[in-house]
Amino acid sequence: MELSTKKKLHALSLAEKIQVLELLDESKMSQSEVARRFQVSQPQISRICKNKEKLLADWCSGTANRERKRKRESKYSGIDEALLCWYHIAQAKAWDVTGPMLLHKAKELADIMGQDFVPSIGWLVRWKRRNNVGFGARQVLVPPFPPEPPPPELPSQAHPPLSLKDFSPENVFGCVEVPLLYRAVPGRAFACDQLQVLLCANSRGTEKRRVLVGGLQAAPRCFFGVNSEALPASYHPDPGIPWSEWLAQFDQDMGQQGRQVALLLAAQVVEEWARPPGLHHVRLLPLSTSSTTPSLPDSVVWAFKAHYRHRLLGKLAAIQSGREGTSLAKAGAGITVLDALHMVAAAWAMVPPQLILSSFIQEGLAPGRTPLSLDRPEVPPAPVGLSQEEFSHFVDLEGEEPGPRVCKEETGTEDNERREEADFEPLPTKAEALTALGTLRRWLECNSTSPKPFEKFYDCEVEVERLCCL
């Protein structure tokens, strides 16, 4: 009987490879002797020596799977590494990172890198296995980079009205972070329903920057499969507003236009930065803490919130009319963050440029003749069922103490959110989109009182049909 001379391949784990390197460094054993001890071939020991630096780097990172025997590179290695870097930052800040949050961030990074990549749950499982990432009890990770030095003190700047003389009104911008209880109804609001909305416009009202919405720790389920570039506003899944990232993008946009602009900011916003961003085309003008001048006129913020509340109440009324027996509170509990993002963009677009201009002039932040005093800007009339005084109170709801942190209503959303990592709603198909168009047109044919809605419907129909042909 012939004996097989083929040896069974024995691959070493990362931990065993480090032991091999320690033996070779600390003892006088040859590669052949080490190979016999670990029951592998001498060429395998030689390859370990050649890859010594990479192996030590993986071992010292603290994130590599130490029982891994082969390192299989991901097809999308750039996204893989960028997501791991973001995960380190999130862990260092003690954020609760979830599966949907990682999927959303991976898609966002892919869009930034210009790669056609839609992360799946299977990809996420493999990514976690490759990088030794696990959920449950929060891991304490060693940061992959040294701690940042304390920020240098900001140079003192002149009082904003004096500094603004160096810029034309078109190049003076104001921005503010606005808290928004996005699904509050009259008499019912919860603290954990609050989003942060970043509004920015120039003093002429001719330029309103794309709205940025943030404030939740995890990417909601409603964002799965959504193309962030197609949304009318930007969404940041991390807590608060990423001021440094937003300013860097603003500076880049102004540089592409060849402009030098001034940006009014609240002093406390600048003080909270871990590292002041290096800006070349945007000059920051922090308002002093004792100043009563807002970084964006209060009347502009009030108009935005009034349009949002009016649109929210209109949507809730429509939901109630389509579902008999649904209370206003139940209808409000069904409003998603994605719904809020669209309503935020629509409300910001409805703030008139003339109001922004007159508000900046009233605050002394733009040259011009002082207009007539406006106690409240022109806004939509109070919805049916609310007086103008009650509606004004509803607009300023964020100024009051919200209710307890109870987000779940009696709509069954609690059970759904418990399964958010494993259960995603299926994405609509092209056939379903075309069917929905037919349903909407039929509904307009039976209920519309004028042909005007069809003009907007035709534009939507053309765009949907174009996308279906891609």
Beta bridge mates, 197: 178, 213
Homologous superfamily of the 77-130 domain (CATH): Homeodomain-like (1.10.10.60)
d(CA 464, CA 418): 34
CA distances, 390 to each of 153, 310, 325, 381, 387 (Å)? 46, 12, 24, 12, 5
The answer to which of 128-137, 236-245, 432-441 has the lowest mean pLDDT is: 128-137
Which residues lie below 8 Å from residue 126, measured CB to CB, with a gap of 6+?
Answer: 74
- Better pLDDT: 176 or 375: 176
User: Residue 191: CA atoms inside 13 Å, Cβ hemisphere, count?
Assistant: 6
Average pLDDT, the chain: 76
Residue 444 has pLDDT above 50, yes or no: yes
The rounded percent of the chain whose pLDDT value lies above 90 is 16
Task: Return the DSSP state at 375.
Answer: S
Q: Beta-strand (E) ranges in 133-257?
A: 172-181, 194-202, 212-214, 234-236
What band does 89 get if pLDDT is binned at 50, 70 and 90? Answer: confident
- Better pLDDT: 220 or 174: 174
d(CA 288, CA 291): 5
Q: What is the pLDDT of residue 91?
A: 76
d(CA 133, CA 130): 8
Find out whether 64 and 18 touch, Cβ atoms under 8 Å: no
Closest to 84 in 3D by CA, of 26, 132, 16 = 132
Q: 3-class SS at 133? A: coil
Domains 14-61 and 77-130 fall in the same CATH topology:
yes
Q: 3-class SS at 366? A: coil
Find out whether 179 and 300 touch, Cβ atoms under 8 Å: no
Which residues lie below 8 Å from residue 35, measured CB to CB, with a gap of 6+?
Answer: 41, 42, 44, 45
Q: Which amino acid is at 65?
A: N
d(CA 21, CA 35): 12
Rg (CA), the chain: 28
Q: Give the residue-averaged pLDDT of 338-343.
A: 89
What band does 446 get if pLDDT is binned at 50, 70 and 90? Answer: confident
Sign of CA dihedral 175, 176, 177, 178: negative
The DSSP secondary structure of 51-94, one letter per residue, reads: THHHHHHHHHHS-S-TT-SS-PPPTTHHHHHHHHHHHHHHHHTT
Beta bridge mates, 194: 181
Closest to 182 in 3D by CA, of 152, 210, 147, 216 = 216
d(CA 427, CA 222): 10
Residue 383 has pLDDT above 60, yes or no: yes
d(CA 132, CA 109): 20
The β-bridge relationship of strands 194-202 and 172-181 is antiparallel
Residue 372 has pLDDT above 80, yes or no: no
The DSSP secondary structure of 11-65, one letter per residue, reads: PPPHHHHHHHHHHHHHS---HHHHHHHHT--HHHHHHHHHTHHHHHHHHHHS-S-
d(CA 306, CA 377): 10
- Better pLDDT: 376 or 18: 18
d(CA 175, CA 287): 12
The DSSP secondary structure of 211-225, one letter per residue, reads: PEEE--SS--GGGTT
The answer to which of 341-345, 378-382, 388-392 has the lowest mean pLDDT is: 378-382
What band does 191 get if pLDDT is binned at 50, 70 and 90? Answer: low
Find out whether 97 and 135 touch, Cβ atoms under 8 Å: yes
Find out whether 235 and 341 touch, Cβ atoms under 8 Å: yes
Which residues lie below 8 Å from residue 113, measured CB to CB, with a gap of 6+?
Answer: 78, 79, 82
The answer to which of 291-300, 336-345, 388-397 has the lowest mean pLDDT is: 388-397
The domain 14-61 having CATH identifier 1.10.3470: the answer here is: no
- Better pLDDT: 270 or 404: 270
H-type helices in 230-367, by residue range? Answer: 243-256, 267-271, 298-322, 328-333, 337-349, 353-362
Find out whether 256 and 286 touch, Cβ atoms under 8 Å: no
d(CA 136, CA 162): 54
Domain boundaries defined on the chain: 14-61, 77-130, 160-399, 428-468
Which residues lie below 8 Å from residue 214, measured CB to CB, with a gap of 6+?
Answer: 195, 196, 198, 235, 236, 237, 238, 239, 240, 241, 242
Whole-model pTM: value is: 0.59
